[in-house]
C-alpha cells in the first residue's frame, strides 16, 4: 500500500525545483546539489499486473518500494531520475537527464539512460 515515507535532508543541501516521492524513505547527505527537474522516487507507484492496476481493491498489492540513499558531496544534474532501491556513494556526479537504476560507487561520474560509469574522480 502506498503510504507516507520519510525524507531526510542533510546540511548545506541545494535543491532546485526537484520532486521527491517517498513511500519508505529518501535520505540525502550533506553538501549535495540537486539540479532543476530532478526526480527521486522510492516506489513503483503502480502494479505491473494489469488486473491489479485497474481494480481499486487490489491496486496497491504488488507495488514495490525500496529506500533511496544519496551520500555526501554529490551533484545530481538537472533532469536526472533516481529510482527505488538506489544507493549513491559519496562524491558522485550524476549527469543531466540520467536515469539511475542501480547503486553508484563513490568518487565517480555517471551519466546516461541507464546511468553508467563515465570515469572515476
Tell me which residues are annotated as active site.
46
Question: CA 76, CA 78: separation in Å to the nearest integer?
Answer: 7
- What pLDDT sits at residue 55? 67
- What pLDDT sits at residue 10? 98
41-76 residue pLDDT tens: 998 877 677 777 676 665 566 678 899 999 999 999
Residue 107, C-beta contacts closer than 8 angstroms, at least 6 positions apart: 89, 90, 91, 92, 120, 121
Pair 72, 114: CB distance under 8 Å: no
- What pLDDT sits at residue 64? 81
- What pLDDT sits at residue 11? 98
- What pLDDT sits at residue 4? 72
Pair 66, 24: CB distance under 8 Å: yes
- What pLDDT sits at residue 46? 74
Residues of the chain with pLDDT under 50: 1
Mean pLDDT score of the chain = 91
Amino acid at each position: 500500500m502506498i503510504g507516507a515515507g520519510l525524507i531526510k535532508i542533510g546540511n548545506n543541501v541545494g535543491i532546485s525545483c526537484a520532486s521527491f516521492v517517498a513511500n519508505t524513505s529518501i535520505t540525502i547527505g550533506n553538501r549535495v546539489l540537486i539540479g532543476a527537474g530532478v526526480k527521486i522516487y522510492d516506489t513503483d507507484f503502480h502494479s505491473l499486473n494489469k488486473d491489479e492496476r485497474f481494480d481499486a481493491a487490489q491496486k496497491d498489492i504488488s507495488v514495490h518500494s525500496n529506500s533511496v540513499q544519496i551520500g555526501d558531496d554529490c551533484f545530481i544534474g538537472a533532469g536526472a531520475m533516481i529510482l527505488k532501491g538506489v544507493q549513491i556513494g559519496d562524491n558522485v556526479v550524476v549527469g543531466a537527464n540520467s536515469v539511475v537504476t542501480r547503486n553508484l560507487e563513490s568518487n565517480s561520474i555517471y551519466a546516461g539512460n541507464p546511468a553508467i560509469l563515465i570515469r572515476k574522480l
